[in-house]
Amino acid sequence: MEKFRKKTIKKDSIPLSDDGIKVYDLIKLVERNEFTNKLLSLIDFESIKDEFIKISGAKTLFDVQNSINKRYKKEDLKSELNNISLFNKKDFSINFYNIGHNEYFNDLKLNEISTTPIYSAQRDFFSGLFQMDKYATRLINRGHKEIVETNLQLLKGIHQTIKKYRILHDKTDDAFYLRAIISLNNYYNYDNNIAIVVGLITLHNEMKKSKTTYNLQLCEYNESFIRMFFESSEVNKLEKVGNIKNIIEISNDEIKREALKFSGICSIIFKHKDIEKELFIKPQEIKSKILSIKHNQIPKTAIEELGNIENSEKVHKTLFDDISKIANIKEPEQIKFLVKRKVEKAKSEEIKRYKTEILKELNNSVSNIIELLNVLKKIELLANEDIDTTEYLRYIIYQALVDRR
pLDDT tens profile 256-291: 766 889 999 889 999 999 999 999 888 877 678 888
Share of the chain above pLDDT 90, in %: 63
Q: How many residues does the chain have?
A: 405
* 383, pLDDT greater than 90: no
The answer to whether residue 7 is domain-embedded is no
Give the DSSP H or E segment for 231: strand 225-238
Per-residue pLDDT averaged across 232-248, rounded? 90
pLDDT at 304: 85
User: What pLDDT is stored for residue 350 in this prediction?
Assistant: 67
Residue 91 lies in a domain: yes
Domain co-membership, 215 together with 363: no
Q: Which residues contact 46 (CB under 8 A, 6 or more apart)?
A: 40
pLDDT, position 257: 63
Q: What is the mean pLDDT of residues 148-171?
A: 94
Question: Do 79 and 176 reside in the same domain of the chain?
Answer: yes
The separation between the first and the last C-alpha atoms of the chain, rounded to the nearest angstrom, is 36
Helix or strand (DSSP H, E) at 377:
helix 369-382
Residue 347, pLDDT score:
79
pLDDT single digits (tens) 174-229: 999 999 999 888 888 889 999 999 999 999 998 998 888 999 999 999 999 999 99
The answer, yes or no, to whether residue 386 has pLDDT greater than 80, is no
* Same domain as 173, residue 118: yes
Same structural domain for residues 178 and 195? no
**Beta pairing partners, 181:** 165
Q: Pick from 191, 186, 165, 188: which is nearest to 84 by CA?
A: 165
pLDDT band at 351; cut points 50, 70, 90:
confident
Q: Is the dihedral of CA 270, 271, 277, 279 positive or negative?
A: negative
- Residue 253, helix vs strand vs coil: strand
- As a dihedral over the C-alpha atoms of residue 29, residue 387, residue 15, residue 267, rounded to 10 degrees, the angle is 120
Domain count, the chain: 3
Residues 160 and 205 in one domain: no
8-state DSSP, 259: S
Same domain membership, residue 158 and residue 35:
no
Taking 80 as the threshold, does the pLDDT of residue 173 lie above it? yes
* pLDDT for position 21: 98
pLDDT, tens digit, 9 for 90 and up, residues 296-322? 888 888 888 888 887 888 888 888 888
DSSP code at position 89: T
pLDDT reading at 77 higher than 70:
yes
Cα separation of 312 and 290, whole Å? 6
- Does the residue 313 lie in any domain? yes
Question: Are residues 320 and 205 part of one domain?
Answer: yes
Specify whether 377 is located in the same domain as 390.
Answer: yes
- Helices 133-141, 145-156: axis angle to 10 degrees equals 150
Q: What are residue 311's phi and psi, to 5 degrees?
A: -70, -15
Q: Could you tell me which of 360, 274, 372 has the C-alpha nearest to residue 330?
A: 372
Same domain, 202 and 318: yes
pLDDT score of 370 more than 70: yes
Examine residue 228 and state whether it is found in any structural domain, yes or no: yes
Do residue 294 and residue 373 come from a single domain? no
Whole-number CA gyration radius for the chain: 23
Indicate the residue among 325, 341, 376 that finishes a domain. 325
Q: Are residues 131 and 206 in the same domain?
A: no
Do 194 and 319 belong to one domain?
yes
Residue 143 has pLDDT above 90, yes or no: yes
Position 6 pLDDT exceeds 70: yes
CB 165 within 8 A of CB 181: yes
From 325, 350, 379, give the residue that closes a domain.
325
Sign (positive or negative) of CA dihedral 255, 195, 220, 230: negative
Residue that terminates a domain, selected from 159, 182, 205: 182
Indicate if the pLDDT at residue 79 is higher than 80: yes
66 inside domain: no
Domain that holds residue 360: 329-403
C-alpha dihedral sign at 167, 169, 170, 176: positive
pLDDT at residue 379, as a whole number: 93
* pLDDT tens digits, one per residue of 23-46: 999 999 998 777 777 778 878 888
Could you tell me if residue 248 is inside a domain?
Answer: yes
